[in-house]
Amino acid sequence: AMKEKHQNAFDDFIAVAEDLVKRKITTPEHLGIAGGSNGGLLVGTCFVQRPELFKAVVCQVPLLDMKRYSHLLAGASWMAEYGDPDTADWEFIKGFSPYHLFDAKKDYPATLFTTSTKDDRVHPAHARKMMALMEAAGKDVRYYENIEGGHGGAANNAQAAHMNALSYSFLWQQ
């Protein structure tokens, strides 16, 4: 799932979700997904590629703007995995850039973005920009930014418990 084959990761995740529905373990109306960091890219891409498959999404400290990721914080160190968006690699990268795949005309699952102001790996601009894009389009979206915590999203156990409570409460309510 490196570079031009990265779509395989999203296809596999979607295939598992489809199988859960096919085997009647759940339905799209009861399927929530969550992921952080690279997992935030995973759930971010999957919910914009297949919005009808999910009811709720928790997208934590996510990579979402794959056109600019290499210019923000540690992003340049991940080009071996994702490719260089400032070259011809953008042709395949844009296929898994949630920010660029978003279509204001589509319906999307309820979404919660969480991030940390002090994240030194994935810049909070990814979550901020995607939240603003979805909010401007009138989508069901929520946002929480912890002012501490770094890439883990929480600076201590109390904050970690709070972040988990936000995520699980959101999923349960949806």
Looking at the annotation, which residues are catalytic?
37, 151
Strand intervals (E) in the chain: 32-36, 56-60, 110-116, 141-146
What backbone phi and psi angles, to 5 degrees, belong to 70? -75, -10
Q: Measuring CA to CA, how many Å separate 26 from each of 20, 23, 53?
A: 6, 8, 11
Fill in the DSSP letter of residue 105. Answer: T
Q: Measuring CA to CA, how many Å separate 33 from each of 41, 54, 69, 71?
A: 12, 7, 23, 28
The sheet carrying 56-60 orders its strands as 32-36, 56-60, 110-116, 141-146
